[in-house]
Structure 1
Amino acid sequence: MLTVHHLRISQSERIVWLCEELGLDYDLKIYIRRSDNNLAPPEYKALHPMGIAPVITDGDIVLGESGAICEYIDRKYGDEKLSVGPDSPDFAGHLFWFHFANATFMANGMMGLVAAQMGGPTPEFVSERVSKAWALAEARVGEAEFFGGSQLTTADIMMGFNLTTSRMFGNTSLEGYPNIAGYLQRIGQRPAYQRAMEKCEPGMKPKLD
């Protein structure tokens, strides 16, 4: 049985959304962050050597890393419905945004968050990278309906968290990003996204604006 281990307010919401988009039968286990430091509880950290979200278990398989999990589930259980083949004009764009989501967009944001927590000014090169990443995302969803191109793909699953729940950590405003704001409204209207957020973040209003 495929089990999604969801740590509240974390990247693992992506995997719940993915499963809902694919209409899969899966087990969802929810873990609450510690009250003293807001980190994952010991039982979550024990799931995988990295001790971070997301994590899935599937029989004897324990798998971490958002991108790897998205590919695993879409290929094994989703008949690659949320992937784009090399014959599609959206192939390159889908691959770029799928990998850009964590390799660049989230990495830049994390550098800025760490700098802020240390109490010092954000380094100029970090600010520039963050601004460029947001500008690139704004341009993408101005020219295409989805980050994956003409249809929702795992690239959108990956980017979605960065533009929604992740903003709770830095209070990033969508002012000046009308295309992203419009994109998030489209995402918020998807029944699968609504089901996912109701299941993994009960009582929390999705951060779509």
Structure 2
Amino acid sequence: MIVVHHLNNSRSQRVLWALEELGVPYEVKRYERDLKTNLAPASLKNIHPLGKSPVITDGKITVAESGAIIEYLAQTYGQKDFIPEAQSEAHRQYLYWLHFSEGTLMPQLLLKLIFEKIVKHAMPFLIKPIAKGIMKKIMTGYVGPNIKGNLDFIESHLKNNEWFAGHQLSGADIQMSFPLEAWVSRNTSENNYPEIIAYVKRFQARDSYQRALKSGGTYDYA
């Protein structure tokens, strides 16, 4: 049986959703973030040297990285359900969004989160204005425009597509769920990106998604 080494409030929640969509039996082994550092516990390094989640074990096979896990699950347990037909436009879209999630979208959102935490963190009075000035310059000159460009692009795509690879949910949707949930949870206005917000609500309403939430426990982005 597949074991999901599940860290609370992490990307491994989407792995649980993928397994529920595929109808594959699994076991959840829970790990809790350190309350001070918010990092994964050292015990995860017993499963994978980097000590990060998600990681799955399937018998003697260990797979890390969300995209690699999605590909493994799709190819091993549900290719017809999760991978569009090879050489089709849907398959090209599937591959693109599967990699776009962590390769393009998530790094910019993470930079924004890090800079916001730096400014909120306690620091000497004289240094704080300097830190704010640096963050503002980076956000307005680089991170902010990149995030807007990415979201505009996604919004345009979702206007013409129910799911990222077309009319059928695929592994690309599982992979794209985490960064979009993270963004929507902090940006609830539907005026700027109504298609993105509608998309997130659409997949969160699926029975498989709700079952995954019950399996995973606390998840702040739902």
TM-score w.r.t. length of structure 2: 0.85
Which of 208, 213, 216 lines up with 1:192 in the alignment? 208
CA contact (8 A) 2:85 2:91 kept: yes
Q: What letter corresponds to residue 107 of structure 2 in structure 1?
A: A
Select between 123-132 and 107-116 the one with higher mean Cα deviation.
107-116
- Partner of 1:9, secondary structure, is coil
Residues 184 and 167 (structure 1), Cα distance of their counterparts in 2 relative to 1, 3 Å cut: closer
**Which residue number corresponds to residue 106 of structure 2?**
106
Match for residue 181 of structure 1?
197
> Matched residue pairs, number?
204
Q: 1:89 to 1:205 in 2, by over 3 A?
A: same
Alpha-carbon distance in 2 for matches of 1:154, 1:174: 27
Segments of 5+ residues of structure 1 without an aligned counterpart are: none
Query: For 2:89, what is the secondary structure of its paired residue?
Result: coil
Deviation for aligned residue 1:205: 6.8
Structure 2 residue runs of 5 or longer lacking an equivalent are 120-130
Q: Which residue in 2 is equivalent to 1:162?
A: 179
Change over 3 Å in CA distance of 1:68–1:167 after alignment to 2 = same
Greater Rg over alpha carbons, structure: 2
Q: Larger RCO: Structure 1 or Structure 2 (Cα < 8 Å, ≥ 6 residues apart)?
A: 2
RMSD of aligned residue pairs (Cα, Å): 1.8
* d(CA) in 2 for partners of 1:172, 1:17: 23
The match for 1:134 is 151
Percent identical = 36
Contact kept in structure 1, 2:184 and 2:197, CA below 8 Å: no
* Contact 1:10 1:166 (C-alpha < 8 Å) held by counterparts: no
SS in 2 for 1:63: strand
1:95 — aligned with what?
95
Q: Counterpart of 1:146?
A: 163
Distance 1:53 1:98, change over 3 A: same
Which digits, 9 at most, give the CA deviation of each residue in 1:133-169, with x for residues without a partner?
A: 111111111110011211100110001111114655x
CA distance in 2, matches of 1:172, 1:28: 30
The 8 Å contact of residues 41 and 51 in structure 2, kept in 1 or not, is answered as no
**Alpha-carbon distance in structure 1 between the residues aligned to 2:149 and 2:173:** 19
Bigger fraction of residues in helix? 2
Structure 2 residue identity aligned to 1:97: W
Pairing 1:172–2:191 present = no
Moved more, 34-43 or 110-119: 110-119
Which amino acid in the other structure matches residue 107 of structure 1?
P
Match of 1:78 in 2: 78
Q: Aligned pair in 2 of structure 1 residues 166, 61: CA closer, same or farther (>3 Å)?
A: farther
- Give the Å deviation of 1:198: 1.6
